[in-house]
Amino acid sequence: MRRAHGRAPLVAEGLFRAAAFACAGFVLVVMAGLFVVLLYRSRLSIDRFGWGFLWSAAWDPVRDNFGAASSIFGTVASTVIAMVIAVPLSLVIALFLVEVAPPRLARPVSYGIELLAGIPSIIYGMWGLFVLAPLMATNVQPAMQKVFGKLPLFAGPPMGIGILTAGLVLALMVLPFITAVVRDVFALVPPVMKEAGYGLGATTWEVTRKVTVGYGMKGIVGGVFLGLGRAIGETMAVTFVIGNDHRIAASLFASGNSIASTLANEFTEASEPVYLSALVELGLILFVVTLVIQVLAQLWLTRLARQAGSTS
Amino acid sequence: MRRRPAWPRKAVDAAVKVASALAAALGLGFLAWILFVVLRHGAAALNWTFLTSLPSAPGGSGGGLGNAILGTALMTLLACVFGVPIGLLAGVYLAEYSRGTRFATTVRFLANVMMGIPSIIIGLFVYAVMVLPSGHFSGWAGGVALALLVLPVVARTTEDMLAMVPNALRESALALGSPHWRATLRILFRASRAGLLTGVLLAVARVSGETAPLLFTALNSPYWPRSLSGPTANLTVTIFNYAMSPYPAWQQAAWGASFIIVVGVLALTVVSRTLTRERK
């Protein structure tokens, strides 16, 4: 069949295809660009401080002497606290949603937990700063000091803001992400496996501990990795409650800073080129770390999905 | 053989069940607590002036955040204008033109990774490529930073939604002589309309509450956004600045802004979820 337009339809198809290709390729360009641009903009700082930047605790804008250690310490400390709280809690909530609650209850509860993920970071910051931090200062932290006595971990004045409060807020923020993954993993366990356990007379908890968790362990690890990636790069909520102080203290009550909070606080004030470059290098470190975590998590989860697809 | 009594095991089981219910209640309790605090403090700050006028001077009372509301709306719109078409087309390429190829696998993988990159890093990137060369903060840069957050979300949902369209539909359109691009836009997009809309709404919901990518791009401004080529007022950075200020009137205004953000973001989330549910 010949059409009056001649080759026009082919041209349109070619154009559309080329445009779609360009848009897909744009994702690659941005990801490569992120790395190249951050690396380029941190060259001043890299030249000047070398690898020592990673473990130097200095942060002196007046003398142009910078190191990432305090920011890395705060990031790691608050993330560890968050994961220690959020992982077990997520597991138990997922257990409730899949095994314990009747479906009619599980659905709205699940929805509510997912809404926690929809609340913007800055709102967690407002709540953390004006509601949680005062509560920590007047009630929680003094009580902890009373119970644990003179441990250096709980030393210092209870100010409310600090590493511990940042960790708590972070825990709440990553909870819905881990819960969602674990819930899906629990729901994927073949009913036959569980029924075999119940047939032997096991209780719900025994089946969960010995069958479901064993079967879904890999998925749980993937979920934990996703949560970890979120926690490490979380910015605004942490900036509100961590205290923004360049120091490394043994106490959980002490104020500190994270990579993201340092960027949020100081970037627009940085006037010296070296200062700016040091901040960009902090960003580069954060980018590389989250990139590695994300890549591992994605590889892990896609491999799992493929395995699940081939067995079912 | 002696039988172990069953009751300790049953007691442990009951205890775990109760604990799991308590954990779920704890999670919901925090959700309710946060929402309650924001709605109560925020409602006290809201009135007509607050929604329509410029901010007061530092320490002064009265005034509003009309400029920030407008700025946030403009930059979110900009994020959609840039991010949605590119995301849609990228998704189309993955689902329709390169299924199963190594290129598609790589792009899909990197789009997933990109969704997990902290938004402050995206802000840093846009600062380096737009703000530094031009020499000033701008609403355009803010919009672009938000668009980069929208892009991977829309691309991934589009791909997933197109992959769910039955092949028979695709083939019948092609068999009637329709070119692939027209089949995609006219037939496949129509079939997966609700899913695509959900993806876009979720992306917009996520982006409209973002602060970190705007800190170094749009910055903030006490004036009306006359053009997007200068620092542009927005709600989230205003919350940050006001909350950290010592003035009670500004802190109150930060709660008002939080109220608007929470209601807006949650409304978008709930609407998009309802769309998904109806489709199922």
DSSP states of A160-220: S-SHHHHHHHHHHHHHHHHHHHHHHHHHHS-HHHHHHHHHTT--HHHHIIIIIHHHHHHHH
Q: What is the pLDDT of residues A157-178, one digit of tens each?
A: 888 999 999 999 999 999 999 9
Nearest-Å Rg of the Cα atoms of chain B is 24
Instruction: Give the chain A residue nearest B214 (alpha carbons).
Output: A264
Q: What is the pLDDT of residues B117-134, one digit of tens each?
A: 999 999 999 999 999 999
Task: Judge whether A224 is closer than 8 Å to chain B, CB to CB.
Answer: no
Choose among B33, B113, B118: nearest Cβ to A235.
Answer: B118
Residue of B3, B34, B41, B220 for testing the chain A interface, max A β-carbons within 10 Å: B34
Interface of B with A in 175-234 (CB under 8 A): 177, 179-181, 184, 205, 209-212, 215-216, 219
Contact, A115 vs B269, CB < 8 A? yes
Q: What is the pLDDT of residue A149?
A: 75
Q: Phi then psi for B55, rounded to 5 degrees?
A: -65, 155
Distance between A89 CA and the closest CA of chain B, angstroms: 6
For residue B71, CA distances in Å to A93, B224, B254 come to 39, 8, 16
Measuring CA to CA, which residue among A256, A260, A223, A245 is closest to residue A122? A260
Distance between A243 CA and the closest CA of chain B, angstroms: 11
B126: tokens are 């846009």
Put simply, the answer to whether A290 touches B121 (Cβ < 8 Å) is yes
Put simply, the answer to whether A290 touches B251 (Cβ < 8 Å) is no
Neighbours of B26 (CB within 10 A): 15
Choose among B107, B117, B124: nearest Cβ to A24.
Answer: B107
Interface of B with A in 53-82 (CB under 8 A): none
Q: What is the pLDDT of residues A244-267, one digit of tens each?
A: 889 898 888 999 999 999 999 999
Instruction: Give the chain A residue nearest B33 (alpha carbons).
Output: A127
Residue of B10, B93, B214 for testing the chain A interface, max A β-carbons within 10 Å: B93
Residue of B117, B178, B270 for testing the chain A interface, max A β-carbons within 10 Å: B117
Helix (H, G, I), strand (E, B) or coil at A256: strand
Q: What is the pLDDT of residue A310?
A: 59
Put simply, the answer to whether B27 touches A179 (Cβ < 8 Å) is yes
Task: Judge whether A89 is closer than 8 Å to chain B, CB to CB.
Answer: yes
Residue of A126, A131, A169, A281 for testing the chain B interface, max B β-carbons within 10 Å: A126
Tokens 């902890």 sit on residue: A144
Q: What is the pLDDT along chain A (312 residues), one digit of tens a residue?
A: 445 555 677 888 999 999 999 999 999 999 999 999 999 999 999 999 999 999 999 999 888 899 999 999 999 999 999 999 999 999 999 999 999 999 999 999 999 999 999 999 999 999 999 999 999 999 899 888 888 877 888 888 888 999 999 999 999 999 999 999 999 989 888 899 889 999 998 898 899 888 888 888 888 998 999 899 999 999 999 999 999 889 898 888 999 999 999 999 999 888 889 999 999 999 999 999 999 999 998 888 888 877 776 554
Task: Judge whether B92 is closer than 8 Å to chain A, CB to CB.
Answer: yes
Q: What is the pLDDT of residue A1?
A: 47
Residue of B7, B102, B125, B188 for testing the chain A interface, max A β-carbons within 10 Å: B125
What's the rounded Cα separation, in Å, for the pair B247 and B61?
9
What's the rounded Cα separation, in Å, for the pair A195 and B277?
30
Q: What is the pLDDT of residue B220?
A: 93
Choose among B27, B205, B209: nearest Cβ to A93.
Answer: B27
Residues in chain B predicted with pLDDT less than 70, given as ranges, are 1, 278-280
Instruction: Give the chain B residue nearest A30 (alpha carbons).
Output: B148
Interface of B with A in 141-180 (CB under 8 A): 148, 151-152, 155, 177, 179-180
Put simply, the answer to whether A37 touches B129 (Cβ < 8 Å) is yes
CATH of domain A45-311: 1.10.3720.10
Task: Judge whether A12 is closer than 8 Å to chain B, CB to CB.
Answer: yes
Measuring CA to CA, which residue among A52, A121, A60 is closest to residue A266? A60
What's the rounded Cα separation, in Å, for the pair B154 and B199?
6
Distance between A101 CA and the closest CA of chain B, angstroms: 8
Put simply, the answer to whether A236 touches B212 (Cβ < 8 Å) is yes
Interface predicted TM-score (ipTM) over 0.95: no
Domain ranges of chain A: 8-41, 45-311
Which DSSP symbol is given to A152? G
Task: Judge whether A56 is closer than 8 Å to chain B, CB to CB.
Answer: no
